[in-house]
A = this chain, B = another copy of it.
């Protein structure tokens, strides 16, 4: 059993995520309302066949949340963080399987390297207080960690499918997503309240409890990140998202070195190099990476020569 007390209790994090969802719902509604005044009006599919697909990400997140909590019963937080990088690889696999996007061998290698690079940067240095107990957790912890990575990837890939399946307005898609999200969230809060016998009062009385300027800034920040992720899912893809979150994490670590005078570690430096290489391997066009043999380049001269070559062959 690990130090669960360092983890936010689930009902508190539910309240917090409900705040983000409400914020995103309000912002998306405002944008949609403004878009409807323009011509042409935004495309909005209100068909039940389409709408019924939008609760599914919320269901996946609900399961994921519980699996996450179960994982933390078996592994400590740093092992949990390390295992979180598995999500990069599972996202690649589900992206290939469900969205039918073909990746080259080099792109697969890039995805594995991205996971390895982010993990490297998180390896505990030799001066740190708590040691990794990465290879000593019970097997259930690892199994749940893998399941958690798969669920997280599935939610991402499914959201990308939802956002791209038609050219509905992004804000309309967001509203559907967040409406179902908030319903699921509120339902769970009510269940929690009943279980706790309304000791702390119903959830809606606690929604605006303990608000400071920092809390508002965090809500605003995470809320706008959520909206940007929707945008990424519609106009880019899950792999772009995985790269941007990894780069953001590394950038945060580098900034912490400068702003909060964190001691830079060798593993942070090595991890950054591996991630940069991975980025280049994934996104650079093939001809920038390998020398494509001149024989198959179609320059006019070789075109003239080919018939002669073919004659000598036969």
What is the interface of chain A, defined by CB distance below 8 A to chain B? Answer: 82, 102, 104-106, 109, 112-113, 116, 119-120, 123-128, 131-132, 134-135, 264, 266-267, 270, 273-274, 277, 280-281, 284, 286, 288-293, 295-298, 300, 302-303, 306-307, 310
Contact = CB atoms under 8 A, between A and B. Distances in A.
Given A127-B131, A296-B296, 12 more contacts: A105-B288, A106-B289, A109-B277, A123-B266, A123-B267, A123-B270, A126-B126, A126-B128, A135-B264, A292-B292, A298-B302, A303-B303
B288 A292 contact: no
A302 B303 CA distance: 10
Closest 3 CB pairs of A and B: A286-B290, A124-B126, A106-B289
Q: Which of A264, A296, A307 has the most CB of B within 10 A?
A: A296
Contact of A116 (B112, B126, B273): B273
22 contacts: A82-B266, A102-B291, A104-B289, A104-B291, A106-B281, A106-B289, A113-B113, A113-B277, A116-B277, A119-B270, A120-B120, A120-B270, A123-B267, A125-B131, A125-B132, A132-B266, A135-B264, A286-B293, A290-B290, A295-B298, A298-B298, A303-B306
Given A273-B112, A292-B286, A296-B296, A126 B120 contact: no
A229 to B, nearest CB: 28
B291 A286 contact: yes
A131 B123 contact: no
Contacts of A284: 105
A104 B113 CA distance: 19
A51 B284 CA distance: 47
Contacts of A104: 289-291
A301 to B, nearest CB: 12
A115 to B, nearest CB: 9
Contacts of A124: 125-126
A293 B310 CA distance: 23
Q: Which of A102, A113, A119, A131 has the most CB of B within 10 A?
A: A113
A109 B270 contact: no
A306 B112 CA distance: 39
Nearest to A289: B106
A201 to B, nearest CB: 44
A124 to B, nearest CB: 4
A296 B303 CA distance: 11
Contacts of A113: 113, 273-274, 277
Given A132-B266, A270-B116, A298 B306 contact: yes
A120 B117 CA distance: 10
Nearest to A292: B292
A300 to B, nearest CB: 7
A126 B134 CA distance: 12
